Amino acid sequence: MIQMQAFVSEYAVWRSDAGRGSLLASLAEAAFLTGLEMNSDIVHMASYAPLFVNDNDRAWNPDAIVFNSWQHYGTPSYWMQTLFRESSGAMIHPITVSSSYSGSLAASAITWQDSENSFLRVKVVNFGSDAVSLTISTSGLQASFNALGSTSTVLTFGNVMDEN
């Protein structure tokens, strides 16, 4: 039996909701990436495009990294992707996210190891307009997995249409 493999080439949210790289676009891309992550048995690679743009010669919007002769900066999509990059090469686990309103949530749970520790990372994307309280359940963790502490990383702006 032949196993399917996919390369998702040149994804990005664009047109009016994306602007020149809005938070709303990066939230949609993050929800999309959680779906790719949950299907990583088939999706082996994905690439954001376009990656670079000279601010003085924009042919396409949005781009992940903007530069000109005196500065460079990442758009919200760039910063969202750095959060995904920090936990690549992982094992996917089933996850259930319960909240008072879950219609605007996407989530994934993964574990990975380095030479000394095992890690669990739960990614939750809230592309709704309200903060929500969550109950998160996952399964498939090794019996030796111990919870030693947790951190939270939040990517947010004042308005979903904010750009850099």
Task: Tell me what the pLDDT averaged over the chain comes to.
Answer: 84
**pLDDT score of 128:** 79
pLDDT per position as a tens digit, 47-62? 998 899 999 998 888 8
| Helix/strand/coil (H/E/C) assignment for every residue in the chain | CCCCCEEEEEECCCCCCCCCCCHHHHHHHHHHHHHHHHCCCCEEEEEECCCEEECCCCCCCCCCEEECCCCEEECHHHHHHHHHHCCCCCEEECEEEEECCCCCEEEEEEEEECCCCEEEEEEEEECCCCCCCEEEEECCCCCCCCCCCCCCCCCCCCCCCCCC
**pLDDT score of 16:** 82
**pLDDT score of 146:** 62
| Choice between 8 and 147, residue whose per-residue pLDDT is larger | 8
48 within 8 A of 81, measured Cβ to Cβ: yes
**pLDDT score of 148:** 66
| Choice between 85 and 47, residue whose per-residue pLDDT is larger | 47
13 within 8 A of 28, measured Cβ to Cβ: yes
| Choice between 141 and 134, residue whose per-residue pLDDT is larger | 134
How far is 57 from 67, CA to CA, in rounded Å? 10
**pLDDT score of 7:** 93
Ranges 75-79, 86-90, 115-119: which has the least confidence: 86-90
**pLDDT score of 89:** 62
Structure confidence at residue 8 as a pLDDT band (50, 70, 90): very high
The structure's pTM equals 0.84
pLDDT per position as a tens digit, 102-130? 678 888 888 777 777 777 888 888 887 78
48 within 8 A of 12, measured Cβ to Cβ: yes
**pLDDT score of 66:** 93
Sign of CA dihedral 85, 123, 146, 92: negative
